[in-house]
A and B are shown apart, each in its own frame.
Chain A
Amino acid sequence: MQHAIQQIVDGLAAGSIYGALALALVLVYRATGMINFAQGLMAVASTYIALTLWQAGSPIGAAVAVAIAVSLVLGAVTERLVIRRFEGASPHTAVVVTVALLILINGIVGAIWGYNSQPFPSLFPTGTVTVGGVVLAIPSLATIGVLIAVVVLLQLLFLKTKLGLALRAVANNPESSALSGLNVGRLLMVGWALAAGLGALAGALIAPKVYLDPGMMDTILIYALAAAVLGGLDSPMGAVVAAWIIGVSENLAGTYIGFIGNDLKIGVPLVAMFVILLTRPQGLFGRKEAVRV
């Protein structure tokens, strides 16, 4: 039992990282109706910025905070300079554009920081705490806590602020929002900025576990995509819950179902995605008519 609880907590921790990137995908999808395949590499670039600051002597917490701030700006700039030109284009064009962005950022990151794996310090102290006789890793608990904090902050932003109301209005009906005087372009920039900031956070959470290299987020992006689609693509809450389901089911299946093990466990979320989408094409929390790509 103790072992199972540890597996669940570790699964939730992994799911929280997928969830952070899934939230980024959802924010971009809600704002611009695109799936940003470059979200993972944007996160990698952010993580390298944090690494560079840390290597220059900054404490890791401050380095990550600065990297998140820089990423907010880079996300906004990406929307303004690249994505804006393809607004209202077909979904196929959107795929090509974000995949091209992925390849471009991959090249830039490789050119600046190289392709070798580099160790990245953890934001959290290593060690364990014992809760009710169960030994739990502090980084896992902290990761879960960070994501919960992010979700609460996003909910407050969306539901309690004027900016959040505007972001939801633009996601719902950009034309009508513009006719009410909302600067749609600027709000889309905010959506991309928030997404890039979340990606930076996801990068800083995963990097200590897997080492940092340009391909670090490739697998995470697949999990995050699965979570975003499972959650319904336009539902932040759905994305997080789906990410936790994926993290936990993957971990439990990898541990307790003999033939799956570590090698096949990436298949678990994909099978889950397949089954759920067969029965609920709009995802767990999605709205049926929400597809406006």
Chain B
Amino acid sequence: MSELAGPERSSRTGAADGRGSGNILELEDVRASYGRAEVLHGVSLQVSNGGVTAVLGANGAGKTTTLRAISGMVTAKGRIDLDGQDVLGSRPDQVARMGVAHVPQGRGTLDQLSVRENLLVGAYQRRDRKAVEAQIAECFELFPALARRQTSTAGNLSGGEQQMLAVCRALMSRPRLLLLDEPSLGLAPRTAEEVFEAIGRLQKETGLSMLVVEQTAALALALADTAVVLEIGRTVLTGPAEEMAGRDEVRRAYLGD
């Protein structure tokens, strides 16, 4: 399991401590637009080193766009710092090479490639073939369903299996930060719980920092230490995850009052 997060983590955590912020990711007053339409009007949030931040909000609040802004998939203004490094204006592949793994909504499965090839694409930047093979083996150990179907086309996997594959693929790059966009989308409630259990286990064992966008607040809040609520493209509330469940803003976000 330790292999999944990679050996570089500890040194990086140490470096970040030196800067004193303790945050792997900081967004400050981020604005983003599709064409001329601005959809984020000021999003601020932090992910602490080794921590999990959940982004909550109603449909259209700008959760997905926030992740896309971090990955350079939409033009954004403001400040986006990854471990003290400015990522604003970088292309998606550059942000990925800086250590951000982004599992997009709908999982981004390479559906015409085999399960194994999906994982190899995730490891594309790596040169340590033996460690890559070891990590693939570990992923198959963690998710036996993927092991059984490693040579079959990823498009044939079930939704839950595809989500597992997407997480494994993201981890293959040995990221410093994992962005998860609606991991439970389109999954049966039981499967969604299993996916979150697996992500939670992974987080505990590796201490990988995560930013999770999720519609099902209960699942996200159980995983996160910090929660951020977005309303119409703005951060309206930030606080410890355990205090969030009862808050009006959270209920509004999900019940649409």
Contacts A162-B124, A165-B117, A169-B121; A179 near B108 (Cβ below 8 A): yes
Residue of A nearest to B108 (CB): A176
A175 near B112 with CB under 8 A, answer: no
B111 near A173 with CB under 8 A, answer: yes
9-residue interface stretch from A116-124, A180-188, A260-268, A272-280: A180-188
Residue total for B at the interface (Cβ-Cβ under 8 A): 24
B113 near A180 with CB under 8 A, answer: no
Residue of B nearest to A184 (CB): B93
A179 near B96 with CB under 8 A, answer: yes
Residue total for A at the interface (Cβ-Cβ under 8 A): 19
Residue of A nearest to B102 (CB): A179
B113 near A168 with CB under 8 A, answer: yes
CB distance from B146 to the nearest CB of A (A): 17
A178 near B96 with CB under 8 A, answer: yes
User: Which residues on the A side are within 8 Å of B110 (C-beta)?
Assistant: 169, 172-173, 176-177
Mask of B85-110 contacts with A, CB within 8 angstroms, 1/0: 00000011100110001101000111
Mask of B202-227 contacts with A, CB within 8 angstroms, 1/0: 00000000000000000000000000
Q: Does A84 contact B (CB under 8 A)?
A: no
Q: Bound complex: CA of A180 vs CA of B169, how far in Å? A: 8
B91 near A180 with CB under 8 A, answer: no
Interface residues of B in 21-52 (CB under 8 A from A): none
Q: Does A209 contact B (CB under 8 A)?
A: no
Q: Does A166 contact B (CB under 8 A)?
A: yes
Residue of A nearest to B100 (CB): A179
Find the residue from B73, B93, B97, B120 having the highest chain A CB count within 10 A: B93
A-B contact pairs, 22 of them (CB 8 A): A165-B121, A166-B121, A169-B113, A169-B117, A169-B124, A172-B112, A172-B113, A175-B92, A176-B110, A177-B110, A178-B92, A178-B93, A179-B96, A180-B101, A180-B122, A180-B173, A181-B97, A182-B121, A183-B93, A184-B93, A287-B112, A290-B112
Residues of B with Cβ closer than 8 Å to A?
A: 71, 73, 91-93, 96-97, 101-102, 104, 108-113, 117, 120-122, 124-125, 169, 173
